Structure 1
């Protein structure tokens, strides 16, 4: 005959374990927004004019170490965005003439934008689904900044590191 051992009974003091409270803390989703990302990254936006040559645009990108620029008209209003990917497509279509083309020839005109209140996870989803890596943040008519997929990932990684530290502190005490 096999005897079944009984687990010790410690009473009903707590129905939740320490690990359950940790799980509850981890489940809390990021409440970060585009504004939070811009607070850490900055609000600087590099722009070019619609009639600037692609050669000039690439020099501006190289000088600033960036992968996209906002295209603004003479009144400072955004009329498009021009990215490295747009320029590569231009070279694929017109290999000999791309540097002579102008920003408005290659820029994306129908720009997906965000607001400062746009949640980080919505930004990430929009960029992933739309297959683009940069999203201008508009505060009304004003361009508050430009967020890249790298900015979003870096911010989220910092959040996860902080969450891991807090969990470790909960466990260790």
Structure 2
């Protein structure tokens, strides 16, 4: 597989919420858009965290009341990220190494430009196989 930058494979843009968003609202956004994560950004649009379907499993397991829970209560703050110039194979290794399914693609100052998911990478690999 040639060195392809993740910017070519990622989903451009990302659905974002703020840390103050209720988990119920974040869940509704994810359901409405058919996505597995929302990226949490601060007031300047910089990456603050990520909330994924895996986090919702934890929310349910901990039985937090929906009306009192915010995204900040459950989001992952030590977010593994990529930059647009990262090679696809390197990003795939990060996903495997950290056992994650979503990786925000950010600028040098942590502004979101997209998100790469295991689905994006699978789709890319499938496209490569069609041309072999």
Q: Check the 8 A contact 2:13/2:112 in 1, yes or no.
A: no
Structure 2 residue aligned with 1:124, among 92, 104, 121? 92
Q: Check the 8 A contact 2:45/2:112 in 1, yes or no.
A: no
> What is the deviation of 1:104?
0.5
Structure possessing the higher relative contact order (Cα contacts under 8 Å, 6 or more residues apart): 2
Find out whether 1:36 has 2:5 as its counterpart.
no
**Residues 1:99 and 1:131: Cα distance change in structure 2 (over 3 Å):** farther
**In 1, Cα distance between equivalents of 2:24 and 2:17:** 12
- Larger Rg: 1 or 2? 1
Q: TM-score, normalised by structure 2?
A: 0.92
Structure 1 residue aligned with 2:127, among 141, 144, 158? 158
**In 2, Cα distance between equivalents of 1:85 and 1:65:** 15
**In 2, Cα distance between equivalents of 1:50 and 1:91:** 19
Q: Which aligned segments of 4 or more residues in structure 1 are displaced greater than 4 angstroms? A: none
Q: Which runs of 5+ in 1 are unaligned?
A: 1-28, 165-173
Structure 2 residue aligned with 1:84, among 36, 45, 53? 53
Q: Which runs of 5+ in 2 are unaligned?
A: none
Greater percentage in helix: 1
> What is the deviation of 1:98?
4.4
**Residues 1:32 and 1:99: Cα distance change in structure 2 (over 3 Å):** farther
Q: Check the 8 A contact 2:17/2:41 in 1, yes or no.
A: yes
* RMSD across aligned positions (CA): 1.4
SS at structure 1 position matched to 2:114: strand
**In 2, Cα distance between equivalents of 1:75 and 1:117:** 23
Aligned residues: 131
Q: TM-score, normalised by structure 1?
A: 0.71
**In 2, Cα distance between equivalents of 1:99 and 1:67:** 21
